[in-house]
Amino acid sequence: ELKVEQNPLFLSMQEGKNYTIYCNYSTTSDRLYWYRQDPGKSLESLFVLLSNGAVKQEGRLMASLDTKARLSTLHITAAVHDLSATYFCAVDMEGGSEKLVFGKGTKLTVNP
Amino acid sequence: GAGVSQSPRYKVAKRGQDVALRCDPISGHVSLFWYQQALGQGPEFLTYFQNEAQLDKSGLPSDRFFAERPEGSVSTLKIQRTQQEDSAVYLCASSGRAGIWSYEQYFGPGTRLTVT
């Protein structure tokens, strides 16, 4: 059974600081996704990582994937209040199954 | 439409009532997924369609849950004899156009179901 673990589950940080969210998964996977969810809203796709060593950046967020370690990271640089949200990582199974298995999410609060 | 739409956005049901939740995927998308998101948790897979075929229903929690997509477009998730533990947000996602393989799932706004 594929399991996805994120840590930390809660993160409170000051504006301007850097931090990293970690996502571990238990079995080989084709693809890893990062989503953002604002309260009461749906999921917004941030990144799709397809191969070992993949790195993608958008603004203050950078995601990377190490398939050998079964680990993805989401790095936040110089956080701003607008980044406050819950961030989920998700993976799908190697072999073509399309369903996503999500982590529990990391609730990020950026304080002024 | 520009994105995935779901209706109703909010539904309050008395315990024991039947409910039907609708999903309109992005036009032309082949794959359609239903997920259940409990408060403070990540979404959990319920079922998956490719066109009108239901290829995976392993996540449906009980036989009270039933999903269909008869014409390969709009889908309905039906919950019979609702229970309090069914209270959650039900998310629909779609992906992939015919002839163009695509894995990225686009999510709708969800239906928040509250069973009283």
pLDDT, tens digit (0-9, with 9 covering 90-100), for B44-53: 999 999 999 9
Select the residue of B43, B106, B110 nearest A102 (Cβ to Cβ): B43
| A91 contacts A70 by C-beta, under 8 angstroms | no
pLDDT, tens digit (0-9, with 9 covering 90-100), for B23-41: 999 998 999 999 999 998 9
pLDDT(B61) > 90: yes
Task: State the CB neighbour count (10 A cutoff) for residue A88.
Answer: 27
CA–CA distance from A88 to each of A35, A46, A100, A102, B97 (Å)? 5, 10, 11, 7, 25
Quote the pLDDT of residue B1: 53
Quote the pLDDT of residue A95: 61
Tokens 């039906």 found at = B78
Taking residues A60-81, report their average pLDDT.
Answer: 95
- CB spacing of B103 vs A45 below 8 angstroms: no
Give the DSSP letter string of A21-52: EEEEESS-EEEEEEEEE-TT--EEEEEEE-ST
Tokens 């315990």 found at = B15
Which chain B residues are within 8 Å of A41, Cβ to Cβ? 109
pLDDT(B101) > 70: no
Select the residue of A92, A97, A103 nearest B42 (Cβ to Cβ): A103
Quote the pLDDT of residue A29: 74
Quote the pLDDT of residue B99: 61
